[in-house]
Chains A and B, each alone.
Chain A
């Protein structure tokens, strides 16, 4: 079943077309990679999917049961409530807040008490807040962050900040998780652990994942299908094996051979 369908997605900034006629389909439960050289438009695709940018042309549709929801033109918080969550290439945590607060804030849309209860701290407030803490801790447990719940996010080591960002994205209860270079800046051991975690959360939360990554060992190891982007266009798609041997991909990454040199 197709969960997300991107049709002829285009984004131009003035004269520059960052994303041109991109078509993608992501099935439910898949783990799909999106790769390409620097400046290929990968993050722009993410920003279009999550509503940070409005597409110039094209449609994005998310399957919700038997319904289809058009995502293009919606505000980011609306898209999040439809079930898309993301992490950022350059970590964007709530730095001055605690680890627990970072996760709790992301549960905002599922909190069942009103403004009045917030002002007066009625029983419903207490009940819900207890539930939030409990659920947050369970989530943090997966990333071994539960015992650091009172630490400020900015004080975490780099790798754990990346983990916390994923935990925060999961707290919004997404159907589709978008990871923007989750392994950037990690050493091989950390990357290894990350790939284990990605596998684990995927099973546990019944997730579909789309990830951008430069670390080819990670991409080739965990992705089932890969889309390759260059100059804003999809130049190849298929299994890791197919993509690896695709001539156009090699050309995009390594440049063209010069024959009469």
Chain B
């Protein structure tokens, strides 16, 4: 029993349950009102998107600008299914189908494009997601073209909470497995990775497929909460926004993506009060943070309870360093003052 209580998984579970209870209390006392609930849902969707893109870009090192494309495939798949089966079971079926269709699309897109590297890959994935968007605009009879589809709401924030936890859990488990390490080794050095027997093409495509799988889920959740989906929601801007969350949180840090999705959503909802200069402030904030923390909020580290302890030590150390620097400065100054005039 003691062992169970001490296990890492148990601590995590407790933290999650506590988080859920706190949010639930806030919601039922209407401190989190309907408008804020929409922000909450956006945060969860963004976490799923960012974590899955981080697997592709942060951990496997494949720069993708097409994540919104896979999200849109999930959204449309789920919306079309729930339109025919408008029940919770229809929604569950829709999410599964969305994930599978999106991952198949990810596989088909990844296979040819992942031969490219760096900027070329970014441009190719960008092009692919634009193609997906144009296809949705032009499939008038099924997707209702540019006007989009009206959907019903099948989920509340609890569903989103559950799906987000599952996503983060699966991706973090994957990264700790030998398959995940194979992906990370590709980011580190592709040539060396091949040389130690890792089929780099296979693992790049695998990361891309898994990332698309979860992007599909995010799309399905979007379609099942917000009442309308249209191709323009999933444009280039959306892909960039997801990438911003990932880079801001730290490439190669899952908890970074989670924290950054929360922070950025809070910041932008706070900035809505200054609607004229909202985007300017938002961009400025991003620039300032990237200047001072170029590796993102968490770099490639993961947030943990032990780290909070470290932080205190870290701040203490910084403080000490600052003081000693000041002291040095003053002593240096004194030295300068005391410097005999011999040099003259």
Contact = CB atoms under 8 A, between A and B. Distances in A.
10 smallest CB-CB distances across A and B, nearest first, come from A118-B177, A80-B197, A94-B188, A76-B194, A106-B196, A92-B192, A109-B197, A111-B178, A105-B185, A77-B199
A40 B197 CA distance: 28
A119 interface: yes
A97 interface: yes
Interface string A78-105: 0011000110100011111100010011
**Most B CB atoms within 10 A — which of A86, A96, A132?**
A96
B329 to A, nearest CB: 30
A172 interface: yes
Contacts of A132: 178
Contact of A88 (B176, B178, B192): B192
B210 to A, nearest CB: 9
A132 B292 CA distance: 39
25 contacts: A76-B194, A76-B195, A85-B195, A85-B196, A86-B195, A92-B191, A93-B189, A94-B184, A94-B192, A95-B189, A104-B181, A106-B197, A107-B178, A108-B198, A109-B198, A111-B178, A118-B180, A119-B170, A119-B173, A120-B173, A121-B173, A121-B176, A128-B178, A169-B196, A171-B196
Contacts of A51: 194
Interface of A: 50-52, 75-77, 80-81, 85-86, 88, 92-97, 101, 104-109, 111, 113, 115, 117-121, 125, 128, 132, 168-169, 171-172
B195 A105 contact: no
A145 B212 CA distance: 39
A171 B176 CA distance: 19
A183 to B, nearest CB: 20
A98 to B, nearest CB: 11
Contacts of B121: none
Given A81-B197, A106-B196, A106-B197, A92 B181 contact: no
B29 to A, nearest CB: 37
Interface string B272-304: 000000000000000000000000000010000
B182 A108 contact: yes
The B contact surface, by secondary structure, is helix
Nearest to A169: B196
Interface string B61-95: 00000000000000000000000000000000000
Nearest to A92: B192
Interface in B199-234: 199-200, 206
B251 to A, nearest CB: 11
A108 B189 contact: no
B189 A105 contact: no
A43 B206 CA distance: 32
Contacts of B206: 115
B174 interface: yes
Given A118-B173, A125-B177, A97 B184 contact: yes
A121 B9 CA distance: 12
Contact of B196 (A52, A105, A111): A105
B185 A97 contact: yes
**Most A CB atoms within 10 A — which of B174, B178, B179, B197?**
B197
Nearest to B185: A105
Contacts of B113: none
Given A101-B181, A105-B182, 6 more contacts: A106-B197, A107-B178, A115-B206, A119-B177, A121-B173, A172-B196
B193 interface: yes
Contacts of A81: 197
Nearest to A171: B196
A184 B181 CA distance: 29
A108 B191 contact: no
A105 B194 contact: no
A97 B188 contact: yes
Interface in B129-183: 170, 173-174, 176-182
B178 A92 contact: no
A4 B179 CA distance: 31
A109 B185 CA distance: 14
Contacts of A77: 194-195, 197-200
B191 A105 contact: no
**Most A CB atoms within 10 A — which of B176, B196, B200?**
B196
A111 B199 CA distance: 14
A177 B165 CA distance: 45
**Most B CB atoms within 10 A — which of A81, A97, A118?**
A118
B196 A80 contact: yes
A52 B193 CA distance: 12
**Most A CB atoms within 10 A — which of B177, B181, B182, B192?**
B192
A50 B195 contact: yes
Interface string B17-40: 000000000000000000000000
Given A92-B192, A125-B177, A172 B185 contact: no
A118 B176 CA distance: 8
Given A93-B192, A97-B184, A108 B174 contact: no
A128 B174 CA distance: 15
A95 B196 CA distance: 15
Contacts of A86: 195
Contacts of A76: 191, 194-195
